Amino acid sequence: MEHNNLNLTVKVWRQKNSQAKGQFESYPVKNISTEMSFLEMIDVLNEELIVEGKEPIAFDHDCREGICGMCSMYINGKPHGPWQANTTCQLHMRAFNDGDTVVVEPWRATAFPVIKDLMVDRSAFDRIVQAGGYVSVNTGNAVDGNSLPINKDKADASFAAAMCIGCGACVAACKNSSAMLFLSAKVSHLALLPQGEPERHSRVLNMVAQMDKEGFGACTNTGACEATCPKEISISNIARLNQEYLVASLVAEK
C-alpha cells in the first residue's frame, strides 16, 4: 500500500481527574505514516511526552480491532472521527492531510463523567443492562438449541441489534446525550427472539426507568446516533423501543 508521512498538530483535552478543570493543549506530531492507526499516532505522541518528562495522554482502548467498544475519542467534532461505521482504533492516518490540526476530546455527557483526559466512566450502561437487559435463564435450564426454530429474518434482525458494542458514541453524538440507540438495540435484540418474550414488558419498562435515572437526555429523533454508530445500529430500533414501551405501559396499567 502506498503511504506517506504527515506532520500534524494534535489539540487534546487534558484533565487530571474527575474533579479537576480541564483544558485543551496542543502538541506537534511529526513523521506520522499514513499506515498508522489513530491510536498508534497517540502512542507515538505519548512516547515523546514521557521522554520529555511530561504526562502521557490517558485514553481508553483495548482490542484495537473495533469490537470491544472501549475506545472513545471525539475527533474533529465526531465520535470516533471522520470515517463512517468506524471506531477510533480502526481510524487510520490516511484520513488526514499534512498540516492538519486534529482536535481530540472525550465523550461529553452528564451520565459519562470524565475520569482523566479522554477517559470517561460509562458504568451507567452496565446499570441499564442490570435493570433487565438479559434473559433470566440459569445455567443448566436450557433445552436443545434446535428445539425452537426461529425465523431467519427475525434472528438476523436480532443479531443486527445485538452487534452494538456499547461504546457510547450514540450518546456522545446526541445533542441531548440520549442513550436511546444503545437501549433500543438491547431491547430489540431480546424482543425479536422468542427467548426474550416472557420478560418483554418488564424489561423495557425497567431499562427505560434506569436510563432516565442515570441522567441521559430525551430522544428528539435527530438521527445523529445512527449516523455515528460504528456498528450502524439502525434508528428503527428506537421506533421499536417506543412501540415496546407503549405496549408494555398499557399492559402494566391493566
Partner 1 sequence: MLDAKIPSGPLDNKWTDYKGHCKLVNPANKRKLEVIVVGTGLAGASAAASLGELGYKVKAFCFQDSPRRAHSIAAQGGINAAKNYQNDGDSVFRLFYDTIKGGDYRAREANVHRLAEVSGNIIDQCVAQGVPFAREYGGLLSNRSFGGTQVQRTFYAAGQTGQQLLIGAYQALERQVALGNVTMYTRHEMLEVVKIDGKARGIIARDLVKGNLERHFGHAVLLCTGGYGNVFYLSTNAMGSNVTAAWKAHKQGATFANPCFTQIHPTCIPVSGDHQSKLTLMSESLRNDGRIWVPKVKGDNRKAVDIPEEERDYYLERRYPAFGNLVPRDVASRAAKERCDAGHGVGTSKQAVYLDYADAIVRYGKIEAGKEGRSNVPMEEIIAMGKQVVKEKYGNLFDMYEKITGENPYEVPMRIYPAVHYTMGGLWVDYELQTTVPGLYALGEANFSDHGANRLGASALMQGLADGYFVIPYTLGNSLADEIYSKAVETSHPAFETAEKAVSDRINLLMNIKGKQTVESFHKRLGKIIWDKCGMARTKEGLEQAIKEVQALKKEFWSDVRIPGSINEMNPELDKANRVADFIELGELMCVDALNRNESCGGHFREEYQTPEGEALRDDANYMYVAAWEYKAEHEWNLHKEPLIYDVVKPSQRSYK
- Letters for 48-87 (x = contact with partner 1 by CB under 8 A, - = none) are -xxx-xxxx-x-xxxxxxxxxxx------------x-xx-
C-alpha cell belonging to residue 156: 438476523
Q: Which of residues 96-155 bind partner 1 (CB under 8 A)?
A: 115-116, 119, 121-123, 125-126, 129-131, 133-146, 148-152, 155
Residue 249 as a binder of partner 1 (CB under 8 A): the answer is no
Q: Report the Cα 178 to chain-centroid distance in Å.
A: 12
C-alpha cell belonging to residue 68: 470491544
- Comparison of 135 and 250: residue with beta carbon closer to partner 1: 135
Tell me how far, at minimum, the Cβ of 6 lies from partner 1, in Å. Answer: 12
Tell me how far, at minimum, the Cβ of 87 lies from partner 1, in Å. Answer: 9
Q: What is the DSSP secondary structure assignment for residue 92, as one 8-state letter?
A: B
- Contact by Cβ (8 Å): 32, 6: yes
From 213, 204, 217, 127, select the one nearest 172 (Cα to Cα): 217
Rounded-to-integer distance, Cα 16 and Cα 211, Å: 28
- Comparison of 43 and 222: residue with beta carbon closer to partner 1: 43
- Comparison of 148 and 218: residue with beta carbon closer to partner 1: 148
- Letters for 152-181 (x = contact with partner 1 by CB under 8 A, - = none) are x--xx-xx--xx-xx---------------
Rounded-to-integer distance, Cα 177 and Cα 167, Å: 13
